Amino acid sequence: MLKKLFTLSCFVVISFSGWAQEVLGFSITAGKNRVQIPIEIQNNLVIVPVVLNRQIPLKFILDTGVRTAILTEKTFSDILNLTYSRRYSIAGPGGIKVVQAYITNNVTLDLPGVHGQGHALLVLDKDYLELRNYLGTDVHGILGYELFSRFVIKIDYDRKILTIQNPDNFVPKRNFEMMPIKVEDTKPYVEAYVQINDTTRSAVKLLIDTGAGHGLILESNSGPTIKVPSKHINSIIGRGLGGIITGQIARIGSLKLGKYQIHDVITNFPDPNSYMDSIKNNRAIFRNGAIGGEILSRFTIIFNLPYEKVYFKKNQSFKKKFYYNQSGLTLRAEGVNLRRFKITDVRDSSSAAKSDIQEGDIILMINGLSAGRFELNTINALLNSKPGKKISLQIERAGKVLERKFLLENPI
């Protein structure tokens, strides 16, 4: 799996209005005004340590695009004998796939230096998203608006530090660019500008989505100027509760955020019918698309949702070039230690497809080194490093060991 494949745009909107647990209880402990928390960055996603009900240490993705905390593995809530107040059947696109979820109330969620009490938790009946397999690291849930609504939150992608601060004590530094945002249905939206071709520059309303690994999503049915460029490829662009999300991948001229202009941005244009089961795609709120981690990770970013502001400062990754899945491979990590790598998709006409690599192949060696020495994130980075790089794979197929070689190619 490369950066294009993971987005947490995958949950239907469930309203929790009218519940006592809607009054959330996050607070910074020990009378402090701010706390710093070490974080992991995987596939441009921010992963934070969370202790469930003071007993089970877990890892959650920090996601501005979801309303209520989500536990993706019901095993943990069952271990704690949590009771469920309500059961939901969630339909995917077209009602074809139905998944089950439950609500448990009055849950405690603790981060280092931050205590949260009295929360509602949406629990998926099964691990439908397989987060740990497609990220290659243990991930058990998602944490969203409950945290962002209470604090100023700074994400330093370079230093891998999350800073949580009470908003009344926050004073922004001058080297950050402030942009106003609108918080609608608990989600932050910003106005930006995109230049899709040489002649068209459009103002767009974008969800700021820390829970998506992609760079930019534009919805082609959201405005007359939002059109898929003629040079594009058809591909899988994400995973949701209803299954895979398909669409077109293209490169646009630029994205302008405040004073920052980012050029040659790889952009996803999802097929509407495969994108309908998203909690981040509330049709009651107009938007043109979303900004994800591939762009956000080029900044140190500060969210101040209580005062509807966001602050950007570019980091050392700002000028990094955008590449898209140059091997054509999508990988899944398996096994207890997530060091067995299975190919789950091979893009048609990609360099890997031309070298006869097939879905279901197991990667044994990469450029002469055992695949088990690497994490999935490292392998994906290698397979998307730069055009022209030579890749040598030893694979297992139907009990046979095969050798395959190819060059990375930029498809767009």
Range of the domain at 400: 329-407
| φ, ψ (nearest 5 deg) of residue 295 | -95, -45
What confidence tier does 372 reach under pLDDT thresholds 50, 70, 90?
very high
Average pLDDT over residues 200-222: 93
Query: Under DSSP, is residue 139 helix (H, G, I), strand (E, B) or coil?
Result: coil
CB 102 within 8 A of CB 130: no
In this structure, are 225 and 274 located in the same domain? yes
What confidence tier does 16 reach under pLDDT thresholds 50, 70, 90?
very low
Residue 133, domain member (yes or no):
yes
CB 301 within 8 A of CB 156: no
Cα separations in angstroms, 256 against 190, 266, 323: 11, 14, 19
In this structure, are 16 and 149 located in the same domain? yes
Residue 193, domain member (yes or no):
yes
In this structure, are 146 and 19 located in the same domain? yes
Is the model's pLDDT at 11 over the cut of 80?
no
Is the model's pLDDT at 175 over the cut of 60?
yes
In this structure, are 247 and 368 located in the same domain? no
Residue 117, domain member (yes or no):
yes
CA quadruple 113, 117, 122, 127: dihedral sign: positive
Q: Which residue's entry shows tokens 């992991």? A: 40
Residue 119, domain member (yes or no):
yes
Model confidence pLDDT, tens digit, residues 318-356: 999 999 899 999 999 999 999 999 999 999 999 999 999
CB 217 within 8 A of CB 267: yes
Q: What's the total number of domains in the chain?
A: 3
Q: 373, 305, 385, 288: which is closest to 338 by C-alpha?
A: 373
Residue 299, domain member (yes or no):
no
Task: Give the model's pLDDT for residue 93.
Answer: 52
Average pLDDT over residues 36-41: 97
Residues 6+ apart with CB under 8 A from 243: 92, 93, 97, 274
Question: In 210-348, which ranges are E strands?
Answer: 216-218, 232-240, 243-257, 260-270, 289-291, 299-304, 309-314, 329-334, 340-346
Q: Which of 3-17, 122-136, 276-290 has the lowest mean pLDDT?
A: 3-17
Task: Give the model's pLDDT for residue 276.
Answer: 53
In this structure, are 37 and 150 located in the same domain? yes
Residue 307, domain member (yes or no):
no
Domain boundary among 167, 183, 216: 167
Model confidence pLDDT, tens digit, residues 57-109: 999 999 999 998 999 999 999 999 999 999 988 765 545 567 889 999 999 99
In this structure, are 104 and 234 located in the same domain? no
Domain boundary among 144, 167, 190: 167
Is the model's pLDDT at 5 over the cut of 80?
no
Supply the CATH number for residue 13's domain: 2.40.70.10
Structure letter (DSSP) for residue 322 = P
Q: What is the pTM of this model?
A: 0.90
Residue 385, domain member (yes or no):
yes
In this structure, are 141 and 19 located in the same domain? yes
Task: Give the model's pLDDT for residue 237.
Answer: 86
Task: Give the model's pLDDT for residue 386.
Answer: 87
In this structure, are 12 and 134 located in the same domain? yes
Task: Give the model's pLDDT for residue 22.
Answer: 39
In this structure, are 280 and 336 located in the same domain? no
Task: Give the model's pLDDT for residue 240.
Answer: 74
H or E stretch including 152?
strand 152-156
Is the model's pLDDT at 3 over the cut of 70?
no
Q: 20, 170, 2, 28: which is closest to 110 by C-alpha?
A: 28
Counting residues of the chain whose pLDDT is more than 70, the rounded percentage is 89
CB 118 within 8 A of CB 106: yes
Supply the CATH number for residue 386's domain: 2.30.42.10
Task: Give the model's pLDDT for residue 89.
Answer: 81
In this structure, are 18 and 148 located in the same domain? yes
In this structure, are 339 and 395 located in the same domain? yes
Domain boundary among 124, 144, 167: 167
d(Cα 133, Cα 294) in Å, to the nearest integer?
20
Model confidence pLDDT, tens digit, residues 145-171: 999 999 999 999 999 999 999 999 899
CB 11 within 8 A of CB 279: yes
pLDDT mean across residues, the chain: 89
Residue 257, domain member (yes or no):
yes
d(Cα 238, Cα 378) in Å, to the nearest integer?
20
Is the model's pLDDT at 213 over the cut of 50?
yes
In this structure, are 153 and 199 located in the same domain? no
Q: Which residue's entry shows tokens 């004590």? A: 169
